[in-house]
Structure 1
């Protein structure tokens, strides 16, 4: 009986692993990344959104806008047929914490939908990138890595303001 249970577990584990494509893995991580970043944004009081640890750093608010801009640039340029308008991105930026969080949520959701609609085989295709030819899979990795990088900075901003960051959300 024990051997049958182990065999069943191994077979079901193998089946699950075969269904977990790079795209599926990205989408799962992207959702968790969104939830974690939004929790960090919610932790910072609105009157501290202008906080920056040094003059050469971006403020908390600017970090959030920068993350959003990068997501939309990569998601639009490499996973849609739309033209990315960098100037439009900088216009009519919201001031309130609630509006900024809504804008971030919208950007995460837009990227999620674009990747969800991308054919798995398209991730193998190489595209021109300022750092040389890169596969679309590498662009997915960059999307997540960039959010992680700046989210780490935002955690430091919280700690510098004696605000306990939310518990880490991974996979």
Structure 2
């Protein structure tokens, strides 16, 4: 039952993520709002990468970022980032569909070289916070990046200022 609710939100929000990633033109990839921020390409690539974290979140009690390896590929083209997103979202959907609800309240944590990065929490809380909400946060940033570079923003939860009413 919980799995079906998570899956419904996952599928809906993956489509919203797809829309925003498709809206990125190559001309905006190098832009960043300040020296402290990622470029548009780095932010979009990170959004695509979050979907790569589903498998270890659902299938490991400890996610060791010290051992984690990820090939983001060539992020110099928006279509490459979208391709990586599609690969990762398919793997994430598979991990979610095959997850065991009996483990949703098991303790989960993230470490790096023995240091706790994400304190022990019920897996379901991690799924909602670390996977879902984390992604929504970065999508919101990407909306600002698109707007700041003069690009249109797709409607995710209804029309935007770019949509004709």
TM-score higher than 0.5 here? yes
Count of matched residue pairs:
148
1:86 to 62, 68, 75: 68
- Quick check: 1:128–1:134 contact (8 Å CA) kept in 2? yes
Q: TM-score, normalised by structure 2?
A: 0.78
Aligned to 2:118, what secondary structure does the other structure show?
A: coil
Q: Partner of 1:61 in structure 2?
A: 41
Q: What is the Cα deviation at residue 118 of structure 1?
A: 0.6
Q: CA RMSD in A?
A: 2.3
Indicate the structure whose relative CO is greater, using CA pairs within 8 Å and at least 6 residues apart: 1
Which structure's CA Rg is the greater one? 1
TM-superposed deviation, 1:56: 0.9
State how 1:25-44 maps to structure 2 within 5 Å: 25-44=5-24
CA deviations over 1:61-84 (Å, ceiling 9, x no partner): 1012222333323x2322236987
Higher strand fraction (1 or 2): 2
Structure 1 position 35, deviation (Å): 1.1
Say if 2:58 and 2:96, in contact at 8 Å, map to a contact too: yes
1:157, 1:54 → 2: CA distance? 11
Please say if 1:144 is aligned against 2:132: yes
Per mean C-alpha deviation after superposition, the further-off stretch among 28-37 and 124-133 is: 124-133
Aligned counterpart, 2:114: none
The offset of 1:134, in angstroms, is 0.9
Which structure dedicates a bigger proportion of its chain to helix? 1
